[in-house]
Structure 1
Amino acid sequence: MTLVALCSFKGSPGVTTAALGLAARWPAGELPVVVECDEAGGDLLARFRLETSPGLVSLAAAVRRGAEPGLVWQHTQRLPGGLPVVAGPAGPEQAHAALAHITSAGAAVLRRAADRPGTVVVADCGRLGPSSAALGILRAADVVLLLARSHDDSLSHVVANLDVAARWPWHPSFVLVGGGYPTSEVASTLGIEVIGRLPEDRHGAAALGGRPGRRSTPTQSPLGRALARIAAVAASRASTEPGGKQQVADSLEADPGSLSAGRRSSPHKSWEGVSR
């Protein structure tokens, strides 16, 4: 019974790929569904050659008649591996209109779907702006994961938006992507909680994006394993908040490479000296 929202402040750190991997590696016993809520337009239709309907647009139309708990499932399609998804339209105008309608009532349709026993709704909210229609989904979420690359330009955008994140009812947990500054340094300098790090793994990303090759599968890849660890932490955080911080510490301790990945820090970081 969990609603997880994934988002970013800047660039393309792989939010859609992470949402798919998080759902695919969610702990057993719960059934995940991915809902593409990126107002810039969705990627799943093209990646997996899905039909344009059912999807986010048909879900938005159906919400006008009610938001019963099973409504989301009526607008899903299945990916080749069996994962159910609600695909967003590729066009930003259509995506924004659909999202605005779905979130006008506080994202009730996603919240009610997530409240069904054994259900996990993973919302891919893409890149957020100050007036993003997806903000209503974040307010309704149990867990918010904010993805960011660990470089000066991306971290500068994180710094610029920390005051926005501080006003969210649920404080986001950060997930760093790729190389760059060490995880522990980013967390301590910015005063944020980092629950994991996703490696640069193009073969694993291709497998999650529907383009598997002989060298990698979604579950066996470094990216898949990292997402499994993050899914376990998110699931624990959603169900028992008091134990969440210890689970984060255990996860990072079990993955020491995530604490020292990337290059050494620079003495002239543009995002240094900022904390909450």
Structure 2
Amino acid sequence: MLITITSLTGSPGASAATLALTWTWPRHAIAVECDPSGGQALAVFDPGGSLGHRGMFEAMLAARTMPLPRALWQQAITLPDGTGRHFLLPGSRTTRTAESLQWQRLVEAVRGWESVDVLADCGRLRARGTPHAVLGSADLVVLVVRNDRHSLRALASSADVVREEIGLLGSADDGLVVVSQVSAGAQRFGVKEIDRQLGKLGLPVVGELPWDPSAAAQLTDTFNPGKRFERSPLLERARQLGLEIGKRAFARSRRLREPVRHVPASGLSSQREVVRRPQALPMPRPVREGEQHAGG
């Protein structure tokens, strides 16, 4: 399966979410850095540079003398989670080298890894060099959005643009799900309420990642975990989210690969679904201090 993780402008968290999900994924998985702004994860897990220069750009060079899937896999490193089944394929270190990558060719190559699920960090939507070929080829796209009034309103007002950017065919296409990201100091809304409102736009909310800067820093800054890292709120929630995301991606992957059933021309008009664009989306009510948090 190919699952991509992305975020809106002003809603960071795609990189931490990708690595947290990969770290806790129930099957063999590899985090692939497709962020056009450049990858940083190799420096987190190999700060001394003992592994040398690794990444997709180096794989493209090596593919002159070997198959690309093999060249890519040789560039991967094993994540130090103790399982031996979670990996990282570093991205390009700069925007310039990222722009030189042949994304469609890379997608076709990683699709050949049938025994491992691919979780691709695509950075922020509508950024310079967005890897549209990766987003459009995904079995499921996970959009990380900050749980605050401004970010949720921005997503609601740009739902059609987001789908177009990802390459989905209207609101009936279930290839996009939302994960809310709690941030410090912002009004927080209940997950069930966000799902109720965004669900009207065909944007189901599958869960929420907590505000856990200490655990997130281990994955995006300097890896020096303490004893509580494996039981941190971030990883605990990522384990739950991974099961739901994996289930949805697997179901859609099977459905997309089923043989197409031919519909008689006479029945097309009666089966065509009319999608009406909603007028306005009311914002969910914030969870106040001391109040039960709906959905989690």
Matched, 1:145 2:142: yes
2:55 alignment counterpart: 55
Distance 2:8 2:66 in 1: 32
CA 1:65–1:114: 2 relative to 1, 3 Å: same
2:5 alignment counterpart: 6
2:78 alignment counterpart: 78
CA 1:160–1:65: 2 relative to 1, 3 Å: farther
Distance 2:35 2:194 in 1: 26
Residue in structure 1 matching 2:161, options 134, 159, 164? 164
2:189 alignment counterpart: 181
Secondary structure at the aligned position of 1:240 is classed as helix
1:81-160 correspondence to structure 2 within 5 Å: 81=81, 83-97=86-100, 101-103=101-103, 106=104, 108-129=105-126, 132-160=129-157
Distance 1:229 1:84 in 2: 20
Task: Please provide the CA RMSD for this pair.
Answer: 2.9
Residue in structure 2 matching 1:237, options 234, 248, 254? 248
Q: Is the 8 A contact 1:55 1:77 kept in 2?
A: no
Query: Which stretch of the first structure deviates more once superposed, 52-61 or 65-74?
Result: 65-74
1:263 alignment counterpart: 287
Q: How many residues align?
A: 238
1:212 alignment counterpart: 225
Which 5+ residue runs of structure 2 have no aligned equivalent?
A: 169-173, 256-283, 289-296
Q: Deviations over 1:68-92 (max 9, x none)?
A: 5434212212343354212123322
Q: What displacement does 1:120 show?
A: 0.8
Query: Counterpart amino acid of 2:216?
Result: A
Q: Deviations over 1:147-198 (max 9, x none)?
A: 0001122223323431123332363110000152222222222322000100
Secondary structure at the aligned position of 1:124 is classed as strand
Q: Is the 8 A contact 2:41 2:219 kept in 1?
A: no
Distance 1:132 1:94 in 2: 10
Matched, 1:40 2:40: no
TM (normalized to structure 2)? 0.70
Q: Is the 8 A contact 2:139 2:253 kept in 1?
A: no
Q: What displacement does 1:24 show?
A: 1.4
Secondary structure at the aligned position of 2:114 is classed as coil
Query: Counterpart amino acid of 1:73?
Result: W
Q: What displacement does 1:64 show?
A: 6.1
Which 5+ residue runs of structure 1 have no aligned equivalent?
A: 245-259, 265-276
Query: Counterpart amino acid of 1:187?
Result: D
Query: Counterpart amino acid of 2:239?
Result: A
TM (normalized to structure 1)? 0.75
Query: Counterpart amino acid of 2:13?
Result: G
Distance 1:8 1:182 in 2: 19
Q: Is the 8 A contact 1:59 1:75 kept in 2?
A: yes
Q: Deviations over 1:192-215 (max 9, x none)?
A: 20001001112322343423134x
Distance 2:253 2:67 in 1: 32
Secondary structure at the aligned position of 2:38 is classed as coil
Matched, 1:20 2:19: yes
Indicate the structure (1 or 2) with the bigger Cα radius of gyration: 2
Query: Counterpart amino acid of 1:211?
Result: N
Distance 1:261 1:119 in 2: 40
Secondary structure at the aligned position of 1:206 is classed as helix
Q: Is the 8 A contact 2:175 2:252 kept in 1?
A: no
